[in-house]
Amino acid sequence: MGIIVQKFGGTSVADATKIKNVAKRVVQTHDEGHRVAVVVSAMGDTTDRLENLAYEISANPPERELAMLMSTGEQVSIALLAMAVSELGHRAISLTGTQVGIMTGGFYSEARIQSINRGRILSELEQGKIVILAGYQGVTIDNEITTLGRGASDTTAVAVAATLDADRCDIYTDVDGVYTADPRIVPNARKLGQITHDEMLEMARLGAKVLHSRSVELAKKFDVNLCVRSSFTESEGTIVVKEGEMIEEVVVSGVTSDKDQAKVSLLGVPDTPGIAARIFQEIADTHINIDMIIQNISHEGTTDISFTVAKKDLGATLKIAEILKAKIGCQNISTDKNIAKVSAIGIGMKSHVGIAARMFRALADEGINIQMISTSEIKISCVIDDREAEHAVRAIHDRFELGNTSNENVGIQG
Amino acid sequence: MGIIVQKFGGTSVADATKIKNVAKRVVQTHDEGHRVAVVVSAMGDTTDRLENLAYEISANPPERELAMLMSTGEQVSIALLAMAVSELGHRAISLTGTQVGIMTGGFYSEARIQSINRGRILSELEQGKIVILAGYQGVTIDNEITTLGRGASDTTAVAVAATLDADRCDIYTDVDGVYTADPRIVPNARKLGQITHDEMLEMARLGAKVLHSRSVELAKKFDVNLCVRSSFTESEGTIVVKEGEMIEEVVVSGVTSDKDQAKVSLLGVPDTPGIAARIFQEIADTHINIDMIIQNISHEGTTDISFTVAKKDLGATLKIAEILKAKIGCQNISTDKNIAKVSAIGIGMKSHVGIAARMFRALADEGINIQMISTSEIKISCVIDDREAEHAVRAIHDRFELGNTSNENVGIQG
């Protein structure tokens, strides 16, 4: 009997009624003859509420205590879902990250899963129970509670599916799949039936909030059958497939925007070998994620290096930049929070030329100025003024003819 | 350097501001040169809120999942208090029941503490940290989360104090000590400077909500210096002392009332040897606590047996009573929820005669009818109509002249 992992996000378990609906769906899958392991997030806005409570007490709460606090959100959900499944006459057992042994390294936040104790889950499944696991949380070898980062319940689900060698990992969310663009911005955005791991990864990284990017990495690495579908409808979702399994290969699969970045520029950096390595090592040491990095050709022995970071990390980044300024003798630091990154993603780019030019032309035709460009094999990102973000997404989406001709979409993609 | 255990109840940590105040008090004690272990309850009405959520989902949630759910309340408090202490520049660490190793037996609710791993607490204290422990929760040998029963954070605190051989265990609450009666009922009730363990135990059992009765049992057994005091004022609390240490021995220390009981009568029970044992064994097997038991002399080979249970257990008790009715052939079952138990407690009763008569006379003079009576060495309880409860408490309190002559009390005692 095969195992199916189902993951339900915060909006899917936001209140008692929704939890009961999730229980019905879980039980239905169980009754169809599968063994079912469920991963759940915290209810609705619980995570925000807990975080606000922490910041009422301290502007800089210790990460250990934040993890202790935040992990309670999922513990509430798993207990309630287990009750709801029991109420339907099925046996259920909830397990915290500590109980199931979702082992992580020593960081309290953004911790990485190292291993999962499949024995406990399998033994409960073999007893005919529906196993309900807390997403987002792990535990260290010293029994310390850790958290995996915002949105990381997806990652828990995929890691559990990989560990159990599950037939499928279904991510239930408040949208019914992955769209060519956010339908709130682009009304005729189209739901994709399939998307490759790499495309999904870029979409996730580049602002589509539908899947946590580490979950897609894991799914690719461990060959997990991943599917994004709606908790609220029966509609078929989007299947994340291997590159070779893609039936219809399109040039561009989707367009995303991300306003959560800020730009930092180090101006007049001495252009000596190893300077970039020094700068970014120093930043990496503080666990700040750098996104785009741009270094242009140098003039008169100095160069400008720009990069983007998450807005929340801007303060910490500036502190390091000031230290670096003194150490390496750069002339100035400038920052800009009012930026957006718009991106076109598609596996088909590999075999098609001129995609970048077509995207830049779409922006130019609308009079939108490009501040930074970054490309990979399957995506092109441009940093622009954040006030132009929606405008730019629509222009690129139109230019690549991604939309439906009709306008019948529902759903949201961040 | 001696250890002080401080316990703060839900009203003391009801919001961010109150948690910060608790942190100040904890840090002050630490700075006075003590090692400090703190036990906290869930914030304000969290426990009720979680319980309501559970009952929205299931009328009869599995106890395992209830424990999983309820234990999150304390986990939130310990994390927030640890943050608040850190914010004051002190080192703090929060520990769940699982982490600290508050080992209990296999029951998920009303579990009993079997042992506490003092090593973990001591090692953190020795590093100069303020250790913040979750009350109310424990863990089994199989890593299952258990809860100790409503109000049992007091018991956690006393057990921790006993384990650490602490100098003192201070129970901070929203009243400034133990009163001769509930000041909301008896305006001139007087705060007691001292009370013996046995008196406190009876007070707690008989409706005074100021201390969890198991905490008093433990304090007596392990000779813990226990003190009840206010989180919100600096006033001296009530010290719970050994019998021999009582300076001023009074006849009656306090008067309590409890409306949380219901009366069940089995009428026309065959008066054969062992019948009471059978009845109460059957009820005990379902973990329902029986309070008062009354059996009168028999008539014509049958007798009536009455007992009281907590109102919440009435439904379950009636189910067993119906089974018993069939098994043992009793004629009828009657119940009454509209009862109150009023009690007078005092160590001095041991050496004074006529106390019971004086109490019955006080009720008779007010025209209050007594339905059941139960006495012990140091308490007398009467079951009366619940509408007469306050009236009866005032009458008894007056009769034993327990009040202040002035009327300057503040505080609440349930």
Per-residue pLDDT tens for A276-321? 888 888 888 887 888 888 877 777 788 888 899 999 899 999 999 9
Q: What is the pLDDT of residue B409?
A: 40
**Which range has the top average pLDDT, A162-166, A347-351, B279-283?**
A162-166
| Beta carbons within 8 Å of B398's beta carbon, 6+ residues apart | B362
> Once rounded to an integer, what is the mean pLDDT over residues A257-265?
92
pLDDT of res. B413: 44
* pLDDT score at B397: 94
Q: What is the DSSP letter of B189?
A: -
Higher-confidence position of A326 and B36: B36
Task: Find the range with the poorest average confidence among A70-74, A162-166, A392-396, A410-414.
Answer: A410-414
> How far out from the chain centre does Cα A200 lie?
10
Share of chain A above pLDDT 70, in %: 97
Q: Which of A54, A71, A87 minimises the CB distance to B83?
A: A54
Q: Can you give the pLDDT at residue A246?
A: 66
Query: Nearest CB to A80: which of B53, B71, B80?
Result: B53
How much is the pLDDT for A249? 63
Contact B98 A50 (CB under 8 A): no
Residue range B53-96, pLDDT digits in tens: 999 999 999 999 999 999 999 999 999 999 999 999 999 999 99
Within 16-45 of B, beta carbons closer than 8 Å to A belong to 16, 19-20
Mean pLDDT rounded to a whole number for chain B:
90
**Nearest residue on chain B to A17, alpha-carbon basis:** B57
What is the chain A residue with the closest CA to B43? A53
User: Residue B144: its pLDDT value, please?
Assistant: 96
Q: Is B93 on the interface with A (CB under 8 A)?
A: yes
Of A57, A69, A80, Cβ closest to residue B16 = A57
Residue from the list A65, A82, A143 with its beta carbon closest to the beta carbon of B94 = A65
For residue A163, give the 3-state DSSP assignment: helix
Residues of B in contact with A75 (CB under 8 A): 68-69, 71-72, 75
What pLDDT was estimated at residue A291? 81
Whether A280 and A305 have beta carbons less than 8 Å apart is answered as no
* Average pLDDT of the residues in B83-112: 95
Contact assessment for residue A294 and residue A306, using Cβ atoms and an 8 Å cutoff: yes
CB-closest option in B57, B72, B84 to A72:
B72
Rounded to a whole number of angstroms, the distance between the first and last alpha carbons of chain B is 36
The Cα-based distances of B396 to B251, B345, B347, B361 in angstroms read 13, 11, 16, 9
Go through B29-54 and write b for each residue having 16 or more CB atoms within 10 A of its CB, e for each that does not. Answer: bbeeebbbbbbbbbbbebbeebbebb
Residues in chain B with CB shorter than 8 Å from the CB of A61 are 83, 86-87
pLDDT tens profile A361-392: 899 999 998 888 888 888 899 999 999 999 99
From chain A, the residues in CB contact with B68 under 8 A are 75, 78-79, 82, 94, 96
Residues of B in contact with A82 (CB under 8 A): 62, 65, 68
pLDDT grade, residue B411 (50/70/90)? Answer: very low
Cβ distance of B75 and A79 shorter than 8 Å: no
With an 8 Å Cβ cutoff, are A64 and B93 in contact?
yes
Q: Residue B79: which of A68, A82, A144 has the nearest Cβ? A: A68
A98 or B409: which leads in pLDDT = A98
Q: Mind listing the pLDDT tens digit for each residue in A188-234?
A: 999 999 999 989 988 887 777 788 888 999 999 999 999 999 888 88
CA closest to B97 among chain A residues = A143
State the pLDDT at residue A328: 86
Residue of A nearest to B21 (CA): A57
User: Is 70 exceeded by the pLDDT of residue B407?
Assistant: no
pLDDT score of A236 = 86
Q: Is the distance from CB of A371 to CB of A358 less than 8 angstroms?
A: no
> Which chain B residue's Cα is nearest to A21?
B57
Average pLDDT over all residues of chain A: 90
A370/A360 Cα distance (integer angstroms): 8
Burial degree of A1 (CB within 10 A; 0-12, 13-18, 19+): exposed
Q: If pLDDT is split at 50, 70 and 90, which confidence band does A247 have? A: low
Task: Give the model's confidence band at A409: pLDDT under 50 very low, under 70 low, under 90 confident, else very high.
Answer: very low
- Could you tell me the CA-to-CA distances from A21 to A257, B59, B349 in Å, in that order? 32, 17, 60
Q: If you average pLDDT over residues B145-152, what whole number do you get?
A: 92
The pLDDT confidence band at residue B249, using thresholds 50, 70 and 90, is: low
- H or E element: which one contains A303? strand A302-310
A132 → chain B, closest CA residue: B65
Interface of A with B in 130-159 (CB under 8 A): 143-145
B246 falls in which pLDDT band (50, 70, 90)?
low
Chain B residues within an 8 Å CB radius of A119: none
Structure confidence by residue, pLDDT tens digits, B317-350:
999 999 988 888 888 999 999 999 999 999 888 7
A69–B80 CB contact, under 8 Å: yes
Query: In A209-301, which ranges are E strands?
Result: 226-230, 238-241, 254-258, 261-270, 290-295
* Residue B94, beta-bridge partner list: B132
Sort out which chain A residues have CB atoms less than 8 A from B64's CB and list them: 93
Q: What is the ipTM of this complex?
A: 0.80
- Three-state SS string across A58-90, please? CCCCCHHHHHHHHHHHHHHHHHHHHHHHHHCCC
All residues of chain B having their beta carbon less than 8 Å from the beta carbon of residue A99 are 143-144
Residue type, B128: G
C-alpha distance from residue B74 to each of B81, B105, B141, B273 (Å): 10, 20, 21, 48
More confident residue, A69 or A360: A69
Residue A413 pLDDT exceeds 70: no
Q: How does pLDDT run across B197-226, given as a tens digit for each residue?
A: 989 988 887 777 788 888 999 999 999 999
Of A58, A69, A94, the CB nearest to B86: A58
Across A83-105, average pLDDT: 97
Of residues A362 and B1, the one with the higher pLDDT is A362
